Chain A
Amino acid sequence: MAGMELVSDQGYRIDGRKPSELRRIRCNMGVFTQADGSAYIEQGNTKVLAAIYGPHEASNNMRNRVCLDRGFVNCEFSQATFSSAERKKRSRGDRKGRDISAHIKQTFEAAIRTSLYPRSQIDIYLQVLHSDGSLYCACVNAATLALIDAGIAMKDYVCACSASLTKGSSLIDINHVEELAGCAEFSASILPKLDQIIYSELNGRIHQDELGLLVDAVSTGCRDIFAVIDQFVRSRLAETASYFTHS
């Protein structure tokens, strides 16, 4: 990727976006009937399915994680063999998958009102169908929608976005090519209405002075994602509301 310009002289990125522009987001809720909650999200070419089971009694191999005063989150992340350019069989417990699932578990234990579900387990299953950068972020956004679909109490939405730095300016919602360029990648999850950052991760090295720029870029990106998701959930609510008044 050496010598490749992430932002052209005209100010556009490789995929034609402006530096502060998100990829197109499309989402859907309730895609599975068997799960308690499910959702599908597309952020550009990154496509993720999420399914929620629970809260239910802890399964046998999770007995040691039961807390008497609150519920716990179990997250499993898997990537389809056909999800990336190189066809690759990925086992469920590979390093990348373990990292992402641990991070998502932390994120949602901070956002779900776990004290309402003592001794219970909430499962988040994530399946990546197409991987084109910002996987963690797409997974968090999909899981948020699925949790809303499942009717699990949360303090707020969780929205996640990633950003990168090139030549002193920030790029948000980075894709696979931009990830490969080797710049530092910063991802964060925020609670948009409570204005809290509940998770942040930085891959690569940046100068201390540039961190503020990245955090600002990411929180703007999260708010933009929130606006899209919020609009979708509200329209879905309005649809179900009519059914609600008749029952």
Chain B
Amino acid sequence: VMCDQTMCIPGERLCSSEQYQAGRGTYVRHGSVFATLAGRVERRKESGDNLLLIHVQSVHSQQLVPEIGAIVICKITQLSSSYAKCKILSVRGSYLNTSFRGMIRKEDVRSTNRDKVEIYKSFRPGDVVVAKVLSLGDASCYLLSTAENELGVVIALSENGDAMIPLSHDQMQCPKSLIKENRKVARPQSDYLSF
């Protein structure tokens, strides 16, 4: 990452769009890249691209909304036989000021044996889940998926209220009572949880 100390303000012309690829916080108009935020200009080499990416890092709070394909962290709020509802708390590692409603449908819980999934054996209210945004869904909530090994429950409390330890891809155990509970457990990976 190359950081020069130049600051920019919304609407400022940064460079020609042939020199740099427009990243976050910028837009292209008439062949030039303009800033949309007030902040610091960063230029970065993206792997596989021969153009440098230019983006603006806001000095104030950054406003994010979940977008398709983004990794989100959410908390399960409500279960039913066909779906689990949740609150999206963070997007791409940035904490959101206000939560967004999300929903994980039964079909999207795991990638194998999709028709044998039981929501009650996958999640419990209060579980912290890493998921991926499938689509923006209908007007009421985002559709999320945990159908990858890296996605699923990362933090869960047992019935006694103790944080459980993952045993396998579908079980977690309470360290005190040694009771095993079923979950769709994630195999957390550093690039999925960048904190």
Q: Taking beta carbons and an 8 Å cutoff, which residues of A are in contact with B?
A: 30, 36-37, 53-58, 63, 66, 68, 71, 113, 116-120, 148-157, 191-194, 230, 233-234, 237-238, 240-241, 244-245
Q: Among the listed A63, A113, A119, which residue makes an inter-chain contact with B36, where contact means beta carbons less than 8 Å apart?
A: A113
Find the B residue at minimum CB distance from A112.
B36
Select one of A117, A149, A150, A238 contacting B65, CB under 8 A.
A117
- List chain B residues, Cβ under 8 A from A120: 65
Q: What residues of A have a CB within 8 angstroms of the CB of B97 in the complex?
A: 36, 56
Given known pairs A57-B101, A148-B9, the reply for A36 and B139 (CB within 8 Å) is no
Residue in chain A with minimal CB distance to B141? A57
Contacts of A37 in B (CB 8 A): 60-61
Residue pair B60, A154 in contact (C-beta under 8 Å) = no
Closest A residue to B30 by beta carbon equals A194
Beyond A237-B38, A241-B7, 9 extra complex contacts between A and B, CB < 8 Å: A55-B65, A118-B65, A149-B60, A151-B38, A151-B39, A151-B61, A193-B11, A193-B12, A237-B59
B39-81 interface with A by 8 A CB criterion: 39-40, 57-63, 65, 67
Secondary structure at chain A's binding surface: helix, strand, loop or mixed? Answer: mixed
Q: How far is the CB of A159 from chain B (nearest CB, A)?
A: 10
For the complex formed, measure the closest distance between the CB of B37 and the CB atoms of chain A, giving whole angstroms: 6
CB nearest to B68 among chain A residues: A118
B interface vs A, CB < 8 Å?
5, 7, 9-13, 25, 27, 29, 34, 36-40, 57-63, 65, 67, 97-101, 136, 139
- In angstroms, Cα B25 to Cα A77, docked, is 28
B34 A56 Cβ-Cβ under 8 A: no
A residues within 8 A CB of B12?
193
Distance, CA A233 to CA B37, complexed state (A):
11
- Contact yes or no, A151 B62, CB < 8 A: yes
Q: A212 to chain B: closest CB distance in Å?
A: 25
Partner of B7, one of A30, A36, A234: A234
Given the contacts A230-B9, A237-B39, A155 and B65 also touching, CB distance less than 8 Å: no
* Complex Cα gap A33–B40 (Å): 22
Question: Please, how many angstroms separate the alpha-carbon atoms of A245 and B34 in the complex?
Answer: 23
A/B interface sample: 18 pairs, CB < 8 A: A36-B97, A57-B99, A113-B27, A113-B36, A119-B136, A120-B65, A151-B63, A152-B63, A154-B10, A155-B10, A157-B10, A194-B11, A230-B9, A237-B38, A240-B59, A241-B7, A241-B59, A245-B5
How many angstroms between the C-alpha atoms of A36 and B95 in the bound complex? 13
A192 — which chain B residues lie within 8 A by C-beta? 11
Q: A56-B97, A192-B11, A237-B38 are in contact. Are A63 and B139 (CB under 8 A)?
A: yes
Instruction: For B136, give its contact among A63, A118, A151, A233 (CB under 8 Å).
Output: A118
Alpha-carbon gap, A107 to B99, bound state (A): 27
Inter-chain CA distance A71–B136, complex, in Å, is 13
Quick one: closest A residue to B99, CB to CB?
A: A57
In the complex where A37-B60, A58-B139 touch, is A155 in contact with B27 (Cβ < 8 A)?
yes
Are A233 and B60 neighbours in the complex by a CB distance under 8 Å?
Answer: no
- Residues in chain A near residue B57, CB distance under 8 A: 244
A156 to B13, CA, bound (A): 10
Q: Is A157's CB under 8 angstroms from B37's CB?
A: no
Alpha-carbon distance between A56 and B62 when the two chains are bound, in angstroms? 13
- Contact among A58, A68, A157 for B11, CB-based, below 8 A: A157
Minimum CB–CB distance for A96 against chain B, Å: 29
A143 to B10 alpha-carbon distance, docked (Å): 14
